[in-house]
Amino acid sequence: MSTLTDPPKGSFRLSTLVNDTRYRSYTFQFIALIVLVGVIAYLMSNLFSNLAAAGLNISYQFLGSPAGYDINQTLIEYNSQSTNRRAALVGILNTLLVAFLACITATILGVIAGILRLSNNWLVAKLMAFYVEIFRNIPVLIWIIIIFTIMIAVLPGPKAFRGDMPSASMVLDAVAFTNRGVYIPAPIWGAGSLIVVAVFIFSIIGCFAYRRYATNLLYDKGRLLPMGWPSAVILIIPVILTFFFMGKPIGLDYPALKGFNFSGGVKVGGPLIALWFALSIYTGAFIAENVRAGIQAISKGQSEAAGALGLRQGRIMKLVIMPQALRVIIPPLISQYLNITKNSSLAIAVGYADVTATLGGITLNQTGRAIECVLLLMLFYLTISLSISAIMNVYNNSVKLKER
Amino acid sequence: MSDTSAAFVRTEPVPPSPPPSSAMGPVKWAKDNLFSTPFYIFLTFFATYVIYLILSNTLPWMLKGVWTTSSLAECREVLDGVSGGCFSILTERWNQLLFGFKYPADQYWRPALTFLFFFAAAAPVLFFKMPRKFLMFTGIFPFVAYYLIWGGSIWTPILVLVGLVFGYWVYRLLVSKSFAAGFFGGIVTAIIIWAVGDSLISDKANVGVFLQAVPSRDLGGFMLNMMLGVVCVSLSVPLGIALALGRQSNMPLIKWICVVFIEFIRGVPLITLLFVASVMLAYFFPPGTTTDLFLRVVIMITVFSGAYIAEVIRGGLAALPSGQYEAADSLGLDYAQAMRLIILPQALKISIPGIVNVAVGLFKDTTLVSVISMFDLIGMIRGPILAATEWNGVYWELLGFAAILFFVVCYGISQYSQWLERQLATDHQ
Amino acid sequence: MKKSVLFGALTVAGLTAGVAAAGTLDDVKARGKLNCGVTTGLVGFAAPDANGEWKGFDVAVCRAVAAAVLGDATAVEFVPTTGKTRFTALASGEIDMLARNTTWTFSRDVDLKFTFVGVNYYDGQGFMVPKALGVSSAKDLDGATVCIQTGTTTELNLADFFRSNNISYEPVPIETNAEAQQQYLSEACDVYTTDASGLASTRATFEAPDDHMLLPEIISKEPLGPLVRHGDNEWGDVVRWTLNALITAEELGVTSANMAEMGAGTNNPEINRLLGTEGTLGEMLGLNADWAMQALSVAGNYGEIFEQNIGESTPIGLARGLNAQWTDGGLLYSPPFR
């Protein structure tokens, strides 16, 4: 909107500020600024007078003092004499760990369920619809509690593995499922194991190089090289050869029942498994819906055209449908990943030591620094969310249909 | 072709014979839908096995359940080693699960009646074909519901209602001149009436108590989930509209405030906001005043869902063709009129399914209040009921009950949302 | 200040002026109700029964204070708090006093600015194990999985104990006592540790309490007591002396049975001062002369409250032990009423 005639100069009245479109937006913004500053000042003055009345202050010094408590599942060195800062870091890593694991499994589950729900097999489609509806419509907190209770009540305790006629036994003598967690063998890195790892990394690179070469050959010359078994050979053979050549430098540390618990191996704690599993199947149901919507968004003409070109069913999916569907699927998928990260804060219900449980839970309780802890906690989640959104924006821009 | 010596000439077409049994009916259906390829055959058997596993484990447990004992030990005695559910906990504690353990038992009819009224009030909003007159009831419902649930002096809701009515009247009077005058005039009028009324009735707080007052701390159980869900969703829609309009605004400062607010709220988990409500918010209120936990939680959840609804509505606003905005401008409408009369009605219509989805998510998230020691359905289960001596060790019955309650409500809403989407899909016919 | 939700909301918006912070005692009197913070559920100390009525040892202290101040033992609003919310609830004024088996420690007193008005239960942290585990000392627990309630001092004591004995353990942090029971009974942890009184109370709810035992080690001092905010000494005095009145009454032999009789006047001047027939102790506190009578009439003296809620005749079955009167070799020692 623009005014047709300039109002005569020198006739400034107060109402001009509101009625003149040249000034109006400044007036409103000025009012908004005053209100904003006023509200913030009001809240802050309340905060400080409340704190002063209670004799408290805002201080982050507690971060440097010893935490005093132990954490059962840590990715980095930690003991009860470590600082609260380190405890928070342990929590952050645990949050990222469970979020990462859950994102992977939720994606796998979601893609399978989403595709199967579109399957022509009536029974499977209905079963998947049932799965999606049941998990989408019940709060994730209930699922976490249910799955944790299943873990605790159904799996045997370590006691069941004891004695001459144990009522439970380890799977393949290597993996023990107990209600405290799952014990799996841990690798022991002996001398020379670095070489094996290096060879493995080179094999992966080699595998990708071969696949790219084969694709280029197909596009340039029209010659079709086999993809499947050569990649497998490149991936496996050199590693195995080096492994034996170096004298089996990597061994396995099997868990064994010792004292009250299994020792040796790697323990994947019960709370982690429950949380991981619950977040995966809950979010998997949402992802399944996204995948289904994405595939259905591709018009049927696309698959018919691909069929008319003589492509097989699998290749239609891989070469025609999926590349287009992914553009629809990925943005909601990433916001589901964001949801997983945020929902992982429910770890508190099962006693998994994520950042909400360490920084926002035990540290908060033990130091009584509620405001500081909650602010740091929000800052952490905000950082994660904003970085994921930033990645999503970059992706969205890169796959945007280039309109001319 | 003139040879007519054939012994038999068909004079009418052969009646169509029924298709072979392998190509019709259940057999054909099964062949097409269950056993068309080896992979599908495998899938079918696998799925059947999964269904068998689920049913064989749950059905006997459910069918052999015990409904009439008064403690777990007694129930186990009745079951005598047979696998079965102790559903008697539901028959004994249903009132606690639904209403919390503090709501006076002789007053249960109040929330129940509110629940019935809620359907009557929600119907005109949910189904556009109902006569618009019923919206009157929707308008009165919040006050009726407030009084039914909390009780106490009837003058409080009446005063609020009178203030709003007068505010609206002033708004109608002034809005033809300018939206801003009407809007702020209405608010000022309402506040004046509230302030005057408050000073009149505050010393007679015990006058007009027809229903026993129930403090909000005594609310609990599934009722608390429902109340938080309904109150927060209805409060967050206006907030969401304001935030969405602010984010679309071309005034940089206002836009900036809204963007920061929305992104901040959406970036943190609800549970941290609930921590804010339970451990921080009290510090931000004026010294010497306290606000009860229910109100603090309502504030935080409203803010939370407001940010999500703002994003949904922003999507609706963005989906409108710019011609609509230009048409409004060319008619000479100012911003408030254009939004009120042209843009928002259309944008909201597009956004309704999205808003309903946010509402379902929010309703599920109300279970999180159990983490900050409020006794909602989950809080009741994890707290007083599991701690009771006589019911130590009952999990599946309680968790299953909670799951079913939530499933019924959420599935119902999402079915409604799909129905609505079909109703609103007027552009592709 | 009886305020409806609506006017609470208006206050939030800053539309009505905030009430000047008067003393807590005046607030409680004006409100006609005492807001008392308790645990979310620990049988014997504070737990709602099937009718939603709060019962327990800590609850009795709240009721005694309400009776002393307001003359009505039912004028209490019980606010369930978790380990996390309890201190903020008190600091922000949501509750007037906290009686939630809270340990009196230096940092809570000095750094968090609370005033512990006394000790109503001398406790210590213990361990409970299934008898089948075959453990007789906490020092044998190397490598065990231990359930702890998070947010309590027990978490820190546990870390210190295992560290100083140079043995390892795996902590399983748990939010509520009910979940701790669930995990302990399904053997997701070998040991459950919390205050010995809490262990006894938990064990009492088990189906087969005799299959479980408490280990002899008590690894910490846990003086549990009610607390109030720093800086409101009048209110602190009211709570402190109500607690002391319960203790003194037992020492002097004032029980709910003979209270009415003694209230008419006795030869013992201290009893007379306590019950308000002599002197002006109530007036000094800003309460009625019969404040202690009122407090005692709720459930009797300290000993009676103990017996009713957690004593040996209850399923919890705690012996008096350290919590006997000093005259019986215990630690309960109330300053004189003079």
Indicate whether B229 belongs to any domain: yes
Indicate whether B111 belongs to any domain: no
Contact A47 B283 (CB under 8 A): yes
Could you report how far apart the first and last alpha carbons of chain C are, in Å?
A: 34
* CA-wise closest residue to A267 among A151, A183, A174, A152: A183
Same domain for B14 and B98? no
Q: How far is C171 from chain A (nearest CA, A)?
A: 5
Which of A60-64, B285-289, B421-425 has the highest average model confidence (pLDDT)?
Answer: A60-64
User: Per-residue pLDDT for C9 more than 60?
Assistant: no
**What are the residue ranges of helices labelled H in chain C?**
5-12, 24-31, 57-70, 86-91, 106-110, 153-164, 177-185, 196-204, 233-252, 259-263, 269-275, 281-285, 291-299, 302-309
Q: Count the Cβ atoms, other than its own, within 10 Å of residue B299.
A: 19
Domain end position, chosen among C220, C235, C266: C220
Quote ipTM for the complex.
0.86
**Chain B 46-75, residues with CB within 8 Å of chain C CB atoms:** 72-73
Task: Give residue B309's pLDDT.
Answer: 93
Neighbours of B, requiring at least 3 CB pairs below 8 Å, are A, C
pLDDT in tens, A162-199: 766 677 777 767 788 888 888 888 877 777 778 888 88
- CATH number, domain with residue B346: 1.10.3720.10
Same domain for B282 and B331? yes
Task: Give residue C13's pLDDT.
Answer: 38
Contact B407 A43 (CB under 8 A): no
User: Per-residue pLDDT for B176 more than 60?
Assistant: yes
pLDDT in tens, A86-134: 989 999 999 999 999 999 999 999 999 998 888 878 888 888 999 999 9
| Count of domains for chain C | 2
Q: How far is C141 from chain A (nearest CA, A)?
A: 8
Indicate whether B27 belongs to any domain: yes
User: Per-residue pLDDT for A356 more than 80?
Assistant: yes
Comparing alpha-carbon positions, the chain C residue that sits nearest to B151 is: C4
* Furthest CA-CA distance within chain A: 103
Same domain for B40 and B67? no
pLDDT in tens, B363-372: 999 999 988 8
What are the residue ranges spanned by the domains of chain A? Answer: 84-137+273-399
- Complete DSSP assignment for B274-291: HHIIIIIGGGGSPTT---
User: Per-residue pLDDT for C7 more than 50?
Assistant: no
Same domain for B38 and B69? no
A287-291, A303-307, B85-89, B386-390, range with the lowest pLDDT: B386-390
Task: Give residue A256's pLDDT.
Answer: 78
User: Per-residue pLDDT for B417 more than 80?
Assistant: yes
Residue A5: which pLDDT band, with cuts at 50, 70 and 90? low
* CA-wise closest residue to C195 among C45, C3, C1: C45
Partner residue facing C11 (CB), from B278, B289, B392: B289
For the segment C24-41, the average pLDDT, to the nearest whole number, is 87
| C-alpha–C-alpha distance, residues B152 and B144, integer Å | 12
Same domain for C169 and C229? no
Task: Give residue B426's pLDDT.
Answer: 62
* CA-wise closest residue to B188 among B178, B200, B196, B199: B196
Task: Give residue B429's pLDDT.
Answer: 43
| C-alpha–C-alpha distance, residues A69 and B285, integer Å | 33
Q: Count the Cβ atoms, other than its own, within 10 Å of residue B11.
A: 5
| Count of domains for chain B | 2
Same domain for B299 and B354? yes
- B/e letters for A70-97, b = 16+ CB within 10 Å, e = fewer, are bbbbbeeebebebebbbbbbbbbbbbbb
CA-angle at B267, arms to B262 and B273, nearest 5°: 90
Which of B146-160, B197-211, C248-262 has the highest average model confidence (pLDDT)?
Answer: C248-262
User: Per-residue pLDDT for A272 more than 50?
Assistant: yes
Same domain for B22 and B96? no
| C-alpha–C-alpha distance, residues A403 and C174, integer Å | 56
pLDDT in tens, A131-155: 999 999 999 999 999 998 888 888 8
Judging contacts by C-beta atoms under 8 Å, the chain A residues touching residue C112 are 56, 368
Task: Give residue C59's pLDDT.
Answer: 93
Comparing alpha-carbon positions, the chain B residue that sits nearest to C46 is: B384
Neighbours of A, requiring at least 3 CB pairs below 8 Å, are B, C
Residue B160 DSSP one-character state: H
Comparing alpha-carbon positions, the chain C residue that sits nearest to B284 is: C12
Q: How far is A100 from chain B (nearest CA, A)?
A: 17
pLDDT in tens, C180-208: 888 888 888 889 998 888 888 888 878 78
Indicate whether B130 belongs to any domain: no
| C-alpha–C-alpha distance, residues C92 and B168, integer Å | 37
User: Per-residue pLDDT for A369 more than 90?
Assistant: no
Task: Give residue B207's pLDDT.
Answer: 65
Same domain for C95 and C175? no
Q: How far is A49 from chain B (nearest CA, A)?
A: 7
Domain end position, chosen among C204, C220, C236: C220
Token pair in block for residue C54: 């709060």
* CA-wise closest residue to B219 among B121, B106, B96: B96
Indicate whether C336 belongs to any domain: no
CA-angle at C140, arms to A350 and C126, nearest 5°: 60
A399-403, B42-46, B276-280, C136-140, range with the lowest pLDDT: A399-403
Contact B205 C2 (CB under 8 A): yes
**Chain B 304-343, residues with CB within 8 Å of chain C CB atoms:** none
Same domain for C196 and C261? no
Contact C11 B389 (CB under 8 A): no
Amino acid at A176: A
| Secondary-structure class of domain A84-137+273-399 per CATH | mainly alpha
Indicate whether B178 belongs to any domain: no
Task: Give residue A2's pLDDT.
Answer: 47
Indicate whether C15 belongs to any domain: no
pLDDT in tens, B312-359: 999 888 888 888 888 988 988 888 888 888 888 888 888 888 888 899
* CA-wise closest residue to C298 among C52, C120, C25, C74: C74
Mean pLDDT, chain B, whole residue set: 84
Contact A260 C108 (CB under 8 A): no
Contact B410 A25 (CB under 8 A): no
B171-180, B254-263, B297-306, range with the lowest pLDDT: B171-180
Same domain for C79 and C146? no
Partner residue facing B387 (CB), from C11, C41, C77: C41
pLDDT in tens, C82-133: 777 788 888 878 889 999 888 898 888 888 888 999 998 998 899 999 988 8
- E strand intervals along A59-207: 176-178, 181-184, 186-189
Residue A11: which pLDDT band, with cuts at 50, 70 and 90? low
Contact A123 B272 (CB under 8 A): no
Same domain for B292 and B340? yes
Supply the range of the domain harboring residue C298: 21-122+224-328
Q: Does A141 touch chain B (CB under 8 A)?
A: yes
Amino acid at B105: A
Task: Give residue A97's pLDDT.
Answer: 93
pLDDT in tens, C285-332: 888 888 988 898 888 899 999 999 888 888 788 888 889 999 988 899
pLDDT in tens, A28-56: 888 889 999 999 999 889 888 888 877 77
Q: Which helix (H) or strand (E) holds B206?
A: none
Burial of A403 (0-12, 13-18, 19+ CB in 10 A): exposed
Q: Does A69 touch chain C (CB under 8 A)?
A: yes
Domain end position, chosen among C166, C187, C220: C220
| C-alpha–C-alpha distance, residues A86 and B222, integer Å | 40
User: Per-residue pLDDT for C2 more than 50?
Assistant: no
Partner residue facing C231 (CB), from A55, A157, A351: A55
Same domain for B307 and B358? yes
**B95: β partners:** none
Task: Give residue A278's pLDDT.
Answer: 93
User: Per-residue pLDDT for B17 more than 90?
Assistant: no
Same domain for C81 and C29? yes
Comparing alpha-carbon positions, the chain A residue that sits nearest to C82 is: A365
Task: Give residue A401's pLDDT.
Answer: 65
Radius of gyration of chain B (CA): 30
What is the pTM (predicted TM-score) of this model?
0.85
Contact B279 C84 (CB under 8 A): yes
Contact between A91 and A355 (Cβ < 8 Å): yes
Amino acid at B80: D
CA A228, A233, A239, A240 dihedral sign is positive
A182: helix, coil or strand?
strand
User: Per-residue pLDDT for C15 more than 80?
Assistant: no
Contact B399 A53 (CB under 8 A): no
Token pair in block for residue C128: 């409970």
Q: What number of residues does chain A have?
A: 404
Measured N-to-C along each axis, helices A84-117 and A270-297 cross at an angle, to the nearest 10 degrees, of 40
- CATH number, domain with residue C173: 3.40.190.10
Which of A151-155, A264-268, A313-317, B365-369 has the highest average model confidence (pLDDT)?
Answer: B365-369
User: Per-residue pLDDT for B304 more than 80?
Assistant: yes
Comparing alpha-carbon positions, the chain C residue that sits nearest to A54 is: C91
Supply the range of the domain harboring residue B31: 8-49
